[in-house]
Structure 1
Amino acid sequence: MNERETAVRITVLTVPDCPNAPAVRERLQTALAGRAVPVDLVEVSGEASAARWGMAGSPTVLIDGEDPFAAAGTRPSVSCRLYRQADGTTDGAPSVADLRRALVQAGLPEAAGEECCEADILDPLGRAGRGRRAPADRGLRAVHQTVLLHFADAGTAPAPGVLDPVAAPYGRTARDVLAELAAEDFLTLDEEGWIQAAYPFSATPTPHRVRIDGGTRAWSMCAIDALGIPAMLGRDVVISSADPVTGEPVTVTTINQKSVWEPAGAVVFVGRRSGSGPAASVCCDVLNFFTSTTSARTWAGEHPDVQGEIVDQARAEGIGRQIFGTLLADD
């Protein structure tokens, strides 16, 4: 273990039940990329406690006791905190890129080049570090989770009218909420407002078929999405896909949340195209299962326009858990 890594200490300050606490923890985990750095979680109640800790809103990230995101003259507060992102929008937690820069500025050595590169490749899947768990306000999370559960139970997307009772307590229509979810890339809609995808699920056929314990059959948007479904639902699945080069089948079967891959040497290529846009257009069709590393390298050589990495089974499953594991959580 690197001595300098243990010298850096991170403290996350939140008010009780802060809706953005899970997001900041997930982004820190991604930014740290497996490096051994202690992270203390502290709940702060009251302005006096906020002043004592130096909390400028919830959540606040302290690195070695300093707030790297605080503007000059910022006062202690227990209110919700907003962070300005690179594209000018605001979010309830710092982005992975901003956390990574703050850690390096604090003296933490950069992660290995491959890990950094992989994190950048995965930005569209994880909404540039903002995570795929919808915010709790304005009915976004309630509608989003209802959509995901409908896919899990029926294998298809719900009609907007089915979601109206879920949106109504927030003073909104389902179509309004769905439009906002689509704008933030939690799901995609067609021109008439019907759901086409709600990551990890697809409403139309893809190369990745998922049979969920209990009998439901659904399509996933990509290989990583398929691997995230058992973690999200807490249920076993059978994933059926095919190597894009050889056409040979690739199957992943989970039993008690433990996976068996066939063939045993199967891997996943994690890639993205250049440019910006929703994950559905930037990366979903280039995250695929392959029967072997050799086959994945062949495909990568035939697609020079796609930036990507080959990841092993454990890493692929870990990415799926990280992105989708908390989407249905209550807190």
Structure 2
Amino acid sequence: MLTVPGCPNAPVAHERIQAALSGRAAQVELVEVHDETEAVQLGMTGSPTVLFDDTDPFGQAGAAPSVSCRIYRHADGLVDGAPSTDELRQALAATDSSMPGEGRCCEQDLLDPIGRAGRGRRAPADCGLRAVHQAVLRHFATTGQAPRITELGPVAAGAGRTAEEVLAELAREDFLTLDDDGQIHAAYPFSAAPTAHRVTLADGTQVWSMCAIDALGIPEMLTTDAVISSSDPVTGEAVTVTSRNGRMEWEPASAVVFVGRRSCDGPAAAVCCDTLNFFTSAASAQSWTTQHPDVRGEVASQARAEQIGRQTFGPLLVS
């Protein structure tokens, strides 16, 4: 836990961390940060910042290193100076497969295709990969469509490469997928073709997401309000998620997300994207699983699904 000296919220955060751990063996290190230079080095974006294995599970895209007070917004819209105990438990469950709960033993395996086996979906900065990848994502966000290869040529040229070379490498590493003509078919979280999940951004731009988790990640990645429109694959009933001022409201209130994968290898588009869907209820999601015995997975709560989306896509446009 990173804090400035005398931070009034540090004891609160520490108490909640201990409660979330529930007596499990873990090393909790308290580190005092004295200036902006240390904040940059340690990854602190306000006091207190909680890191699990050097990763900030509550990090926001574009957040700058800071020694100022940090504000946490809870699911109910209220703000606080520290993560809640429940939020800490959920974050711990994402990083520790020994945490209790149905399906925790295999959760990391389920999430491997989403997060590239722990490598994340933020492209490396070298060889023009991140610059081209971010240009693709921003083009989707601005136009609702994939850019043509010719539009990416100048960006790739900045790294002394062609757009075709960079896109091929991004495809090999599963940051995006290409069609038979070498054009962009998908750049997670976006799809160039219509899917079951439409996202309307605050400026009116409409985009398609590859899956439910991707849809939840889009407003986090772009730091914008948005409306996600989808439907339950079993009942056909509408599921709507409205992201407003960093808070997501689900309709119906009982809606959940099924997080699953097939046992095959390959890009996320083939392994799991069509299995990650919104459902109006956990019962409906369970009904879907009985119809698809080839898919392994579990039902994720709204908070858990939002967390996966935030952690997966929130950092993508950070320089």
CA contact (8 A) 1:27 1:130 kept: no
User: 1:326 Cα deviation (Å)?
Assistant: 0.3
Aligned equivalent of 1:317: 306
Matches of 2:116 and 2:131 in 1, distance apart? 19
The normalised TM-score by structure 1 is 0.70
Aligned equivalent of 1:134: 123
User: 1:218 Cα deviation (Å)?
Assistant: 0.6
Matches of 2:252 and 2:24 in 1, distance apart? 41
The secondary structure found in structure 1 opposite 2:115 is: coil
Matches of 2:121 and 2:140 in 1, distance apart? 16
Q: Deviations over 1:216-257 (max 9, x none)?
A: 001000000000001000001110001000001101111112
The normalised TM-score by structure 2 is 0.73
Are residues 1:5 and 2:25 paired? yes
Are residues 1:283 and 2:234 paired? no
Aligned equivalent of 1:95: none
Unaligned runs of 5+ in 2: 1-17, 32-37, 42-49, 59-94
Number of residue pairs the alignment of both structures matches: 252
CA contact (8 A) 1:243 1:250 kept: yes
Q: Deviations over 1:49-100 (max 9, x none)?
A: xxxxxxxxxxxxxxxxxxxxxxxxxxxxxxxxxxxxxxxxxxxxxxxxxxx8
Are residues 1:122 and 2:111 paired? yes
The secondary structure found in structure 2 opposite 1:322 is: helix
What amino acid maps onto 1:5 in structure 2? A
The root-mean-square deviation of aligned C-alpha atoms, in Å, is 3.0
Are residues 1:162 and 2:151 paired? yes
Q: Deviations over 1:98-140 (max 9, x none)?
A: xx8xx9xxxxx93336333222101001000000000000000
Kindly tell me: are residues 196 and 322 of structure 1, through their superposed partners in 2, closer, same or farther at Cα, counting changes over 3 Å?
same
Runs of 4+ in 1 over 3 A off after TM superposition: 1-4, 6-11, 15-18, 25-30
Kindly tell me: are residues 258 and 33 of structure 1, through their superposed partners in 2, closer, same or farther at Cα, counting changes over 3 Å?
closer
Kindly tell me: are residues 200 and 242 of structure 1, through their superposed partners in 2, closer, same or farther at Cα, counting changes over 3 Å?
same
Q: Deviations over 1:181-227 (max 9, x none)?
A: 00000000011110000000000010000101101001000000000
Kindly tell me: are residues 170 and 316 of structure 1, through their superposed partners in 2, closer, same or farther at Cα, counting changes over 3 Å?
same
Kindly tell me: are residues 260 and 8 of structure 1, through their superposed partners in 2, closer, same or farther at Cα, counting changes over 3 Å?
closer
Matches of 2:215 and 2:289 in 1, distance apart? 21
Of the candidates 238, 245, 259, which is equivalent to residue 249 of structure 1?
A: 238
The secondary structure found in structure 2 opposite 1:225 is: helix
Aligned equivalent of 1:240: 229
Aligned equivalent of 1:65: none
Matches of 2:272 and 2:114 in 1, distance apart? 7
Kindly tell me: are residues 245 and 165 of structure 1, through their superposed partners in 2, closer, same or farther at Cα, counting changes over 3 Å?
same
CA contact (8 A) 2:144 2:208 kept: yes
Aligned equivalent of 2:136: 147
Unaligned runs of 5+ in 1: 19-24, 35-99, 104-108
| Mapping 1:262-301, distance limit 5 Å | 262-301=251-290
User: 1:152 Cα deviation (Å)?
Assistant: 0.2
What amino acid maps onto 1:194 in structure 2? Q
Aligned equivalent of 2:220: 231
The secondary structure found in structure 2 opposite 1:123 is: helix
The higher relative CO (CA closer than 8 Å, separation ≥ 6) is in 2
Matches of 1:129 and 1:228 in 2, distance apart? 17
CA contact (8 A) 2:124 2:130 kept: yes
What amino acid maps onto 2:120 in structure 1? G
Of the candidates 99, 116, 119, which is equivalent to residue 111 of structure 1?
A: 99
Kindly tell me: are residues 111 and 175 of structure 1, through their superposed partners in 2, closer, same or farther at Cα, counting changes over 3 Å?
same
Of the candidates 168, 173, 177, which is equivalent to residue 179 of structure 1?
A: 168
